[in-house]
């Protein structure tokens, strides 16, 4: 049996695919479905595309959460809803997460799509999160920094504010070294708070600050969690 970094990467990819494809089993013809962003959710997009192509699913309305997901859906020939027409009554959204705590609260935004992802999540009757087991955490912030999306105007003042809340802040960069831009043209500040003891309080502090467009704390939004790992696949719902 092969071992090493490549083998571990292949194994994690398999777990991501298994979790995403299990979630697609909950998709029914005629639904309005949110399509998530990231390396796990993309497997759900591809599986939905495959089922549509053979007629196993029909008459779906799909809502992408990012330009990247929209591009992949169009490549697969998946018809999409014009987001400008409104996002009311999404039956099910399948999306990933960067970190998940025992109460199904999340840190999201590693792919830079946190604003659209949260808009879609808030419009969804069911928000199904798909992850491999490395994303599970006893407390948010222990494993991943918190992405915070800010407008470019005065963005350095947001760095100072976030540092006053206890974060070590870094500006997300694109491959060429320029500041990463979200689909809305905003900057992403990755904020290492460490273990976040009061996520709801922090969410209020971030939401009250002008110039902060959105943050990656998704609290009380996930209804379902599907986790794949060495011991198999598990499905939890919010109690």
Task: Just list the catalytic residues.
Answer: 117
State the Cα angle at 148 between 225 and 114, rounded to 5°.
45
Secondary structure of 23-81 in the HEC alphabet? HHCCCCCCCEEEECCCCCHHHHHHHHHHHHHCCCCCCCEEEECCHHHHHHHHHCCCCEC
Q: Environment class of residue 151 by beta-carbon count within 10 Å: exposed (0-12), middle (13-18) or buried (19+)?
A: middle
Beta-bridge partners for 234: 227
What is the CA 149 to chain-centroid distance, rounded?
A: 14
């Amino acid at each position: 049996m092969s071992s090493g970094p490549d083998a571990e990467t292949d194994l994690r990819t398999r777990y991501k695919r298994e979790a995403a494809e299990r979630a697609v089993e909950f998709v029914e013809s005629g639904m309005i479905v949110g399509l998530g962003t990231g390396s796990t959710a993309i497997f759900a997009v591809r599986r939905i595309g495959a089922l549509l192509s053979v007629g196993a699913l029909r008459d779906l309305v799909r809502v992408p959460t990012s330009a990247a997901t929209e591009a992949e859906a169009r490549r697969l020939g998946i018809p999409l809803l014009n987001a400008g027409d409104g996002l009311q009554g999404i039956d099910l959204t399948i999306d990933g997460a960067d970190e998940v705590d025992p109460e199904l609260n999340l840190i999201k935004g590693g792919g830079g799509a946190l604003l659209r992802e949260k808009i879609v999540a808030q419009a969804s009757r069911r928000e199904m999160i798909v992850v491999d087991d490395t994303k599970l955490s006893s407390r948010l912030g222990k494993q991943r920094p918190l992405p915070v999306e800010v407008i470019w105007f005065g963005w350095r003042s947001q760095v100072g504010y976030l540092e006053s809340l206890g974060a070590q802040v870094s500006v997300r960069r694109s491959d060429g070294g320029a500041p990463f831009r979200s689909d809305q043209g905003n900057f992403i500040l990755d904020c290492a708070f460490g273990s976040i003891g009061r996520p709801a309080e922090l969410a209020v502090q971030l939401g009250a600050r002008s110039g902060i467009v959105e943050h990656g704390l998704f609290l009380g939004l996930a209804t379902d969690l599907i986790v794949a790992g060495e011991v198999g696949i598990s499905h939890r719902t919010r109690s």
